[in-house]
Every structure is written in C-alpha cells, then in structure tokens.
C-alpha cells in the first residue's frame, strides 16, 4: 500500500541581508520546505500573524523591527500559534546579553553565523515533533489547561449529553460564539491593554458570569463558545449584553475602557426536539455566524445565524 505524502513544511525567513536570506532559502528548500522570505521586520510580523508557518527564522538585525522585536510582538499576540518554533539569527558571534534578550522575547533558539546547519535542522526536527504531539493531544483533550475551560473537543462531547436532555424536555437551546474586536475608544479615553490581557479579562468574565448549566469552551486562540440550555434567541442576546456590561466594568477598572468589544454570533432554537437540528450543528452555525458577522451584520456586534443566512 502506498503511504500518503505528509504535508510539506513551510518556513518564514526574515533577513535584512539579501545574500543570507537567499542562502537560507536554498538550504530550507533542500530540506523539503516551502519558503517565504522578506527583508522587513514589519512584513515578517504581518506574515507570521497570518499563520500557516511551521518555522520562523528571524534576523536579529531585521529592518524596521528587529527579529527580537517581532518575536516579542508574537509572544504577546493571542492569535499567534505559540507552538511555532522561532529561531533568532545573529550576524556576529553570539553574546550572552543578546542570547538572553532573544530567549526572554520567546525565541526557541538563538544561532550565530556561520550556521551549524546540521545541528539546527536536528533541533527543528525535535521542535516540530513536540509541536505535532501537542496538536494531537489537544484534539482529544476535554479541558484547556491554560484557561480552565473546555476545549472544542470537550464542547462537542458534552453537546451530545446536553442534547438528549433538551430533546426529552422540549427545551430551547442556544450556542453563542464570540471573539474580541478592536473598538475605537470613547472621547477622552485611550485603551492601553494588550490583546492577551483583554482576552484574559474575557475568560475571567465568562467564567464568573456563566450559569452552572452552561458549557464554556475555548474554541480558538481568541474565541470562546457557550452552550446554553433552556435559552432561546432573546436569551442569547441578553447573555451577550450581560457579558459585555461586565467586561466594560472590568476594562474600566484596568484602564482598558473602550479598547475592545465582543463580536458575537449565535444560533438558537425555541424547541430542540422540533427544530430538526442537533447541538453540534448549532455550534457550527454560531461559529460560521461570528466569522461573517463583521462583514454582514451592518455594524452590529451581535449577529444571528437566521438573520445572516435565512433572511
């Protein structure tokens, strides 16, 4: 039997030196990688945030933003896949202060020229194996250890249990998915919190405000979902409004007022038994709604699946 070829690895190389950039591109290509290269630190940060890279190689002396600056910005970005190895390259012999600064910014490795290519790729194999094992474990883990919330896998597992009870009792049922959205500060205010700090606030508020019957899950780097039994469309909107009010209060206390708001999508039915839809489909619909709400909800921060897709 012929084995399916594994996905080709992808590397992002950010180097200010054209010769070094081309040299690294050639080496990574020989190792079977697809390569994207740039000489701009700002462009490297933009590309890395889009995701899809298995390895980031960043020159310590990148233009506009240094490799360490890019690494630090990614470390503070909750949307970035933090299981992605980041290697900082020094054009001169490494110094202890430079190495410490790179590791403090979140670098996985710090190398100097000339590169020990064989040693580097052996370490990358180890890093990528660990990344793959982490991804595999996360797909079957019920709880997210960082937030204390359910994972997406856990959400779907509990959905089946909640569904049986809701159908038996002819209950209403809703799923609400939401994500932070940058919002303009009010007049005289200036938000100063990072995305990571704000998302931590969101997790705290949701855990405090959720009912005992609700199931709260972290379904993305900056996305949460709530399974809400005995909750119809009006109840789903009230839930989002209550969470936003509490979040505003927390933001004001932390001097982050007006910096973010919740962009929410929901799908709700008044009687799950009569709705001809299961709870996992409600989850899928709410996730689809929040993904398109910014473009189609006409400025609203809360969008219904029915309004977006059935109107």
At 265 the three-state DSSP class reads strand
Q: Given pLDDT bands bounded at 50, 70 and 90, which one contains residue 142?
A: confident
Give bridge partners of residue 293 from the DSSP assignment. none
Written as six digits, the tokens of 310 are: 């059935």
- Tell me the per-residue pLDDT of 32-63, one tens digit each, with 9 for 90 and over: 888 999 989 999 998 888 778 889 999 988 88
Q: Is the peptide bond before 33 cis (omega within 30 degrees of 0)?
A: no
Q: Which of 226, 155, 214, 223 lies closest to 195 in space, CA to CA?
A: 223
Euclidean distance between CA atoms 159 and 139, whole angstroms: 16
279 closest CA partner among 267, 264, 288, 291: 267
* Residue 299: per-residue pLDDT: 53
Q: Report the pLDDT value the prediction gives residue 2, as an integer from 0 to 100.
A: 39
Least confident of 65-79, 178-192, 252-266: 178-192
Q: pLDDT digit string (tens) for 195-239?
A: 666 777 788 888 888 888 899 998 887 889 999 999 999 999 999
φ/ψ (deg, to 5) at 74: -70, -35
Alpha-carbon distance 12 to 40, whole Å?
A: 12
Residue 19's nearest CA partner among 111, 127, 91, 78 is 91
By CB atoms closer than 10 A (0-12, 13-18, 19+), residue 107 is buried
Mean pLDDT lowest for which of 16-25, 95-104, 152-161, 177-186? Answer: 177-186
The per-residue pLDDT for 151 is: 85
Q: Does the pTM exceed 0.95?
A: no
The answer to whether the beta carbons of residues 218 and 224 sit under 8 Å apart is yes
pLDDT at 92 over 80: no
pLDDT band at 173 (very low <50, low <70, confident <90, very high): very high
What pLDDT does 233 receive? 94
Does residue 107 surpass a pLDDT of 80? yes
What is the model's pLDDT at position 94? 63
Angle at the Cα of 89 (from 196 to 96), degrees rounded to 5?
Answer: 85
pLDDT-based confidence at residue 179 (cuts at 50, 70, 90):
confident
| Separation CA 149–CA 143 (nearest Å) | 6
Ordered structural domains, the chain, with CATH: 10-139 (3.40.50.2300), 152-309 (3.30.70.270)
What confidence tens digit (pLDDT) does each residue in 6-40 have? 568 888 999 988 888 898 999 899 988 889 999 89
Pick the residue with more confidence: 183 or 282?
282
Cross-strand pairs, 216: 226
Q: Which residue has the tokens 């899809």?
A: 52
Q: If pLDDT is split at 50, 70 and 90, which confidence band does 309 have?
A: low
Average pLDDT, the chain: 82
pLDDT, tens digit (0-9, with 9 covering 90-100), for 266-301: 999 999 999 989 998 999 999 888 877 655 545 567
Spatial neighbors of 307 by CB under 8 A, at least 6 apart, are 297
């Amino acid at each position: 039997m012929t084995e399916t070829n594994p996905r080709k690895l992808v590397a992002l190389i950010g180097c200010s030196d054209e010769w070094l950039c081309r040299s690294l591109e050639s080496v990574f290509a020989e190792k079977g990688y697809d390569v994207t290269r740039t000489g701009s630190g700002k462009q490297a940060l933009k590309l890395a945030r889009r995701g899809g890279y298995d390895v980031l190689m960043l020159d310590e002396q990148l233009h506009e933003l240094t490799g360490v600056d890019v690494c630090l910005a990614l470390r503070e970005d909750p949307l970035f896949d933090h299981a992605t190895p980041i290697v900082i390259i020094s054009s001169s012999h490494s110094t202890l202060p430079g190495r410490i600064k790179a590791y403090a910014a979140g670098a996985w490795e710090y190398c100097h020229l000339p590169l020990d290519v064989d040693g580097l790729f052996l370490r990358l194999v180890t890093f990528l194996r660990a990344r793959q094992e982490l991804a595999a474990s996360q797909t079957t883990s019920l709880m997210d250890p960082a937030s204390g919330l359910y994972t997406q896998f856990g959400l779907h597992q509990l959905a089946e249990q909640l569904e049986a009870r809701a159908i038996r009792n002819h209950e209403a049922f809703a799923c609400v998915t939401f994500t932070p959205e940058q919002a303009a500060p009010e007049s005289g205010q200036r938000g100063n919190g990072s995305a990571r700090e704000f998302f931590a606030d969101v997790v705290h508020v949701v855990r405090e405000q959720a009912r005992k019957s609700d199931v709260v899950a972290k379904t993305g780097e900056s996305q949460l979902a709530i399974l809400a039994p005995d909750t119809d469309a009006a109840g789903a909107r009230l839930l989002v409004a209550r969470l936003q009010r509490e979040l505003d209060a927390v933001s004001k206390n932390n001097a982050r007022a007006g910096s973010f708001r919740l962009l929410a999508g929901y799908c709700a039915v008044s009687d799950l038994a009569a709705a001809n839809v299961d709870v996992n489909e409600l989850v899928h619909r709410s996730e689809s709604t929040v993904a398109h709400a910014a473009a189609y909800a006409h400025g609203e921060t809360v969008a219904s699946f029915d309004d977006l897709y059935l109107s």
